[in-house]
Amino acid sequence: MANKFGATSTTDEVLIGVNLKGKRILVTGVSAGLGVETSRTLAAHGAYVVGAARDLAKAEAATKQVREAATDNGGGFELIELDLANLASVRAAADALLAKGELFDVVIANAGVMATPFGHTADGFETQFGTNHLGHFVFVNRIAKLIRDGGRLVNLSSSGHRFSNVDLEDPGFEHTPYEPFVAYGRSKSANILFAVAFDARHRARGVRATAVHPGGIQTELGRYMPPEALQNMVAQINQQLAAEGKGPFEFKTVPQGSATSVWAAVVAQADEVGGKYCENCHVSTIVPDETPLGMLNEGVRSYALDPKNAEALWKKSEELVGETF
């Protein structure tokens, strides 16, 4: 299909003329940033959105505009509790949804953490891998039968996947020094690989899975980064851009950052995005592993789309969480 959208497109722009009345969409991480904007624009086009968050009080305050958009446009909105860093919470949330038995047209796995200090989830997993990947792995797989035939899964990944492939021999940094962005990279590669493997398992019934990079955005995701670290990263990117004769880096707005999630969820053709990695409202191409890490460089590394790598991660993830899907 012809694609008229790009890096500066917003959620409202990609949904012009799209009617989502009758659609049920689940979005994780709705207490701030991208999750709130994604939910708002979907509800504003008539969708019934189920928002998942660890801190319900915070999410309740943050999603006032989502409820207003739903009320004004024939959509709906409700909150459920989900702490991705605690598998007891993950399983309880999934069980509650299964008990209700209401189907979803789309699941958007939006929640995540970035560059955290070394730590562990409630179940003993390294914080970023445990929260960003394993929490969603268990949650999505447990509710997979609630995704309607022809539905879709959208995993939020990042260009940060280029920091590292997954390490299935040492996922918890027990034998290698901990580096916050290496851990982030592992978890974001896992988000893509999970989409690849989920897509392979469910495409026979028309359910497709994709992973997206929202772009460089200033949200709560960066709360663990010292201000000077972000400044240094942007300075390095600007040096690179200047050497290429380009202008300085500009952060995306939250509506621009949420646009690719929305586009991949309800605008793009299923066969176009299924099993792929998307950014700037289009499917990305594979780039060599030596491609710079900068936030402006498009493309996905081959290890993140490798079906064998995806299957190995799936098997290791099942082993770690003690469940087979």
Q: Which residues are known catalytic residues?
A: 157, 184, 188
3-state secondary structure the chain: CCCCCCCCCCHHHHCCCCCCCCCEEEEECCCCHHHHHHHHHHHHCCCEEEEEECCHHHHHHHCHHHHHHHHHHCCEEEEEECCCCCHHHHHHHHHHHHHHCCCEEEEEECCCCCCCCCCECCCCCEHHHHHHHHHHHHHHHHCHHHEEEEEEEEEECCHHHHHCCCCCCCCCCCCCCCCHHHHHHHHHHHHHHHHHHHHHHHHHHCCEEEEEECCCECCHHHHHCCHHHHHHHHHHHHHHHHHCCCCCCCCECHHHHHHHHHHHHHHCCHHHHCCCEEECCEECCEECCCCCCCCCCCCEEHHHCCHHHHHHHHHHHHHHHCCCC
Nearest to 154 by CA among 205, 98, 216, 112: 112
Nearest to 110 by CA among 243, 217, 6, 241: 217
